[in-house]
């Protein structure tokens, strides 16, 4: 597929390089929740994935490019996708308190306007007032 057909430069998607930008767009659209990170317990300072942590039906849930997942579902998915033995999910604030500001090569794509365009697309496509995912 031609690189021009991808949302992100380099052919990245929401689960392979664009998760931070998508989590930022979800947070701007949803107006609630906290950015959260998934890390491998063997290397907890290294961020594997960004998600938006929200409260849903009195439980903590996570939104990412695959949709809505409860904690165990998200952990199982990431262990399979990333071939990890054990993972943790922390808010970005908790991660930064433990390991300092993240300075990895994680791209938000904000400077080229992709995060803003994703948020606008979410607003056009999904009304938060009508959003009621099954759980």
DSSP 3-state of 94 = helix
pTM: predicted TM-score of the whole model, two decimal places: 0.80
pLDDT score recorded for residue 135: 45
Cβ(25)–Cβ(119) under 8 Å? yes
Does the CA dihedral 118-124-130-134 come out positive or negative? negative
What's the DSSP call for residue 7? S
Task: Write out pLDDT tens, residues 25-63.
Answer: 899 888 889 999 999 999 999 898 999 999 988 899 999
- What pLDDT is stored for residue 1 in this prediction? 43
In a domain, 132, yes or no: no
Q: Is residue 24 part of a domain?
A: yes
Asked if 52 contacts 18 with a C-beta cutoff of 8 angstroms, the reply is: no
- Domain assignment present for 61: yes
Q: What is the DSSP letter of 25?
A: H
Tokens of 68: 């809505």
- Residue 133 counted as domain residue: no
| Domain contains 130 | no
Mean pLDDT across the stretch 102-106? 66
Please tell me whether residue 59 adopts helix, strand or coil conformation. strand
The residue-averaged pLDDT of 2-6 equals 53
Give me the domain span that covers residue 9. 3-125
Q: Is 29 contained in some domain?
A: yes
- Tell whether 73 is covered by a domain: yes
Indicate the number of domains in the chain. 1
Nearest to 44 by CA among 102, 105, 120: 102
Tell me the percentage of the chain whose pLDDT exceeds 90.
39
Domain for residue 49, yes or no?
Answer: yes
């Amino acid at each position: 597929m031609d690189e021009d057909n991808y949302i992100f430069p380099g052919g990245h998607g929401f689960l392979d390089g664009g998760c931070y930008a998508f989590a930022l767009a979800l947070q701007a659209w949803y107006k609630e929740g906290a950015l959260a990170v998934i890390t491998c317990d063997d290397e907890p300072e290294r961020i594997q994935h960004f998600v938006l942590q929200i409260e849903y039906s009195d439980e903590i849930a996570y939104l990412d490019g695959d949709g809505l997942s409860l904690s165990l579902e998200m952990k199982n998915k990431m262990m399979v996708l990333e071939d990890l033995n054990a993972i943790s999910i922390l808010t970005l604030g908790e991660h930064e308190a433990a390991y300092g500001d993240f300075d990895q090569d994680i791209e938000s794509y904000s400077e080229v306007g992709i995060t803003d365009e994703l948020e606008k697309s979410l607003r056009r496509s999904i009304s938060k007032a009508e959003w009621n995912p099954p759980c």
